[in-house]
């Protein structure tokens, strides 16, 4: 592994945030209603025969702990009623936690005075719901500027900010329209624009796309992922759709009956489901569509720069029994690929510029490319498939064996395969 490529892995992929978490939750628990609500009232009819345990109200969120790194896209996934919305709403105290600790940007929210809490809700955190309440008699621009309106910003600043946000979500032309002139998908974009215009660091999104039909939904997912890449807000995104969760999330927290059953990257969850419940859940996931080149890539064994000495590169390649290496330009982009035979022929000939010893025999894809789209590209050249970031820098490679291991479903072909499951996880 070369040191220059180690930074390609995010803090999230390394198993935990390195900087101060944007959100830190410890033992958060919510039990709705006072004891003595409907459940215990009815028990009176049975002469109090029910045990203590039966009378005890069920926790909607039960001892939930997690932390979210700044800029992370964190997904809470689970079936309906598993406690996702409850957890999300506790993050800005729309729902008051029964117990547990909640820090936002290092500040303890549970003890925050009302005024500061309002400030937090108005400025730092923005919530996007499944059904946006757009004001029907106000223009799209005014709707997008809602958060700024709430905090009394001037009309000119509001309009400017709202127009930027509308532009960003592809509704630049629609500022003067009324909500009823927009389609459902466009209205959802206004909601997204509203969140962006608010300038909040943290976006809480509760199934924002669930009501949209599949094609528009996919567009909105793409849009949100693109925005996230550029704007780097911290997002906590709730969904009951595992494919959506895996597609969007840096990490995913799976909930069941108010409890966290697993927290990890899509790949970790697919390779090592925490229990049978999760295993059952992921059996329907199309791994080739969910996993991307970026999620499975490895650091290349050897890379070279255009200024390197061919003999040195040859030696480094020989050490790992490699036959080819990516040659990077000064920006970290791919200048080409060199091979051992080209290098060997040049050694001793004083024709030493490595830049002259490259071919274009390689294929590279963007880190977001699903595995389904890279199958045909691997294993064809002397170097593994290259993976580049949005700026064209080489951030990793996908060797053929890595791709095959990632596509294999753990325990599918050998049902007694606890061991195999672990092996796959390590491949």
Ligand X SMILES: Nc1ncnc2c1ncn2[C@@H]1O[C@H](COP(=O)(O)OP(=O)(O)O)[C@@H](O)[C@H]1O
Least distance in angstroms from the C-beta of 206 to ligand X: 7
Q: Which is nearer to ligand X, 202 or 238 (CB)?
A: 238
Residues 6 or more apart whose Cβ sits within 8 Å of residue 349: none
> Closest approach of Cβ 86 to Mg ion, in Å?
8
* Contact of residue 303 among Mg ion, ligand X, none (CB under 5-8 Å per partner type): none
60 binds, among Mg ion, ligand X, none (CB under 5 to 8 A by kind): ligand X
With beta carbons less than 8 A apart as the criterion, state whether 310 and 349 touch.
Answer: no
- Closer residue to ligand X, CB minimum distance, 254 or 291: 254
CA distance 259 to 139: 42
Q: Considering the complex, what minimum distance in angstroms separates the CB of residue 23 from ligand X? A: 17
As measured in angstroms, the least distance from the Cβ of 357 to ligand X is 58
Our finding on whether 208 is near ligand X (CB under 6 A) is no
Write out the binding residues for ligand X, residues 251-290 only, by CB under 6 A: none
Query: Candidates 85-93, 185-193, 295-303, 363-371 — which segment interacts with Mg ion by CB under 5 A?
Result: 85-93
Closest to Mg ion by CB, 257 vs 272, is 257
The footprint of ligand X on residues 54-93 (CB under 6 A) is 60, 78, 80-86
Helices 214-231 and 184-197: angle between axes, nearest 10 degrees = 20
Binding test (CB under 5 A) with Mg ion, winner from 82, 85, 295, 388: 85
Q: How far apart, in Å, are the Cα atoms of 144 and each of 109, 199, 379?
A: 27, 12, 49
Q: What strand order describes the sheet that includes 334-339?
A: 303-305, 324-328, 334-339
Whole-number Å distance between alpha carbons of 86 and 67: 16
What whole-number distance in Å separates Cα of residue 212 and Cα of residue 166?
19
CB of 24 or CB of 85, closer to Mg ion: 85
Interface residue list for ligand X (CB under 6 A): 32-33, 60, 78, 80-86
Q: Which residues bind Mg ion (CB under 5 A)?
A: 85
């Amino acid at each position: 592994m070369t040191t220059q490529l180690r930074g390609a892995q995010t803090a999230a992929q390394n198993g935990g945030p390195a900087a101060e978490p944007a959100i830190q939750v410890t033992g958060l628990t919510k039990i709705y209603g006072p004891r003595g609500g409907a459940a215990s009232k009815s028990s009176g009819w049975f002469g109090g025969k029910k045990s203590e345990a039966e009378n005890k109200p069920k926790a909607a969120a039960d001892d939930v702990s997690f932390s979210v790194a700044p800029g992370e896209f964190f997904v809470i996934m689970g079936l309906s009623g598993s406690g996702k919305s409850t957890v999300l709403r506790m993050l800005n105290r729309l729902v008051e936690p029964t117990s547990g600790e909640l820090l936002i940007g290092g500040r303890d929210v549970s003890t925050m005075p009302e005024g500061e809490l309002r400030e937090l809700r108005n400025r730092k955190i923005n919530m996007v719901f499944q059904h946006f309440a757009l004001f029907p008699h106000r223009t799209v621009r005014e709707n997008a500027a809602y958060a700024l309106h709430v905090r009394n910003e001037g009309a000119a600043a509001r309009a400017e900010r709202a127009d930027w946000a509308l532009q960003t979500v592809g509704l630049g032309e629609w500022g003067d329209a009324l909500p009823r002139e927009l389609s459902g998908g466009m209205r959802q974009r206004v909601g997204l624009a509203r969140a962006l215009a608010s300038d909040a660091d943290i976006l809480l999104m509760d199934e924002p796309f669930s009501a949209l039909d599949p094609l528009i939904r996919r567009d909105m997912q793409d849009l949100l992922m693109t925005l996230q890449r550029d704007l780097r807000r911290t997002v906590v995104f709730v969904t009951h759709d595992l494919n959506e969760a895996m597609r969007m999330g840096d990490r995913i927290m799976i909930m069941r009956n108010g409890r966290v059953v697993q927290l990890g990257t899509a790949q970790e969850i697919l390779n090592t489901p925490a229990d049978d419940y999760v295993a059952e859940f992921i059996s329907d996931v199309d791994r080739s569509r969910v996993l991307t080149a970026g999620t499975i890539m490895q650091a290349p064994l050897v890379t070279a720069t255009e200024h390197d000495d061919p003999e040195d590169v040859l030696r480094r390649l020989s050490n790992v029994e490699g036959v080819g290496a990516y040659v990077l330009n000064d920006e970290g982009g791919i200048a080409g690929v060199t091979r051992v035979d080209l290098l060997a022929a040049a050694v001793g000939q004083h024709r030493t510029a490595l830049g002259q010893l490259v071919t274009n025999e390689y294929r590279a894809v963007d880190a977001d490319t699903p595995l389904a789209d890279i199958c045909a590209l691997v294993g064809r050249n002397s170097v593994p498939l290259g993976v580049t970031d949005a700026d064209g820098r080489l951030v990793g490679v996908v060797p053929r064996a890595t791709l095959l291991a990632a596509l294999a479903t753990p325990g599918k072909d050998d049902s007694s395969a606890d061991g195999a499951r672990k092996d796959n996880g390590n491949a």
